[in-house]
Every structure is written in structure tokens, then in C-alpha cells.
Amino acid sequence: MKFLHEFFNKDTGVTVITLANKYNTYTGEAKTHPDDRPYMNEFVGCRLAEKRAWLIFYKEELKRQTIKLQAIENLNNDIKHNIKGPIDPKIQRRINLKLRDYNNNIIELKNTIHDIKFSIKKDIELRDSLIDKRRTKEDKE
């Protein structure tokens, strides 16, 4: 995965980051609320945009892994229901390993997606609390 494009527009408060791999490009965007523009920070926007791009990537990867899992499950069911006689233990073992691997990958991807969403939420909450502190400090002065 590599950074393909990074963009920050100070006038609109929009930050865009694009990641790319050999399959696709993934674009994350962060927007600053118009009321918060005096306090905007390019680095915070870049961090949020990058996390959102990674979130899109992991969601796509979850879809790919789910499709692979379904294909292996279908193959396993076809073998069990359509083949008369014993199944070669080596083949069944390889299928079971693939099923386990794809299930583990899916669990890991779901956890990663959850963690990124939580991280984005916490980053936004922290940013909002810092802006509120600045506003309060300015109001006192």
C-alpha cells in the first residue's frame, strides 16, 4: 500500500488522502466544520483522512475474504453431498485449513475495522474538546 495523493485545502478545510495498492485506490476525506475553521489543523485532518482511507480498504478486504470463505464452504458442501465414497483426507484437511484461515482473517478484519472506527471517534471527540477549550479561553479574554 502506498500514498498516492495528499491534499489539504485551507479555504474549505477539506483534507483528502488517497492510498493505492495493485487492486484499487482508497480515498479518505476529512472536513472541518465552518465554525471550527479558525482552529483547524492540517495534521489532524490528514490523520482522520488517512484512517478513513484505511477503513475503506479494510472493508473491501473483508468483502473479498467473505467471498473466498463462501466459495470454500460451497466447495466443501458440494464434496460432502455429491461425492460417493470416502473423501481423500488430505483434500479434506486442506479445505478445513482454508476454512479456518478465512474465518480467522474475517474475525481479524472485523476487529481492525471496529478499532479504526473507535479511533476516529476518539480523535474527533478529542479535537472537539480542544476546540471547546480554546473557545472558552478566548471568551474569558
> In this predicted model, what pLDDT tens digit does every residue of 112-135 receive, in sequence order?
999 999 999 999 999 888 888 888
Q: Could you give the strand order of the β-sheet that contains 14-20, starting from the edge strand earlier in sequence?
A: 2-9, 14-20, 25-31
Is a pLDDT exceeding 80 seen at residue 141? no
**Structural domains of the chain in order of their starting residue, each with its CATH number:** 2-140 (3.30.160.240)
pTM: 0.87
| Run of H or E including 6 | strand 2-9
pLDDT band at 90 (very low <50, low <70, confident <90, very high): very high
Is a pLDDT exceeding 90 seen at residue 36? no
> In this predicted model, what pLDDT tens digit does every residue of 37-69 receive, in sequence order?
777 778 888 999 999 999 999 999 999 999 999
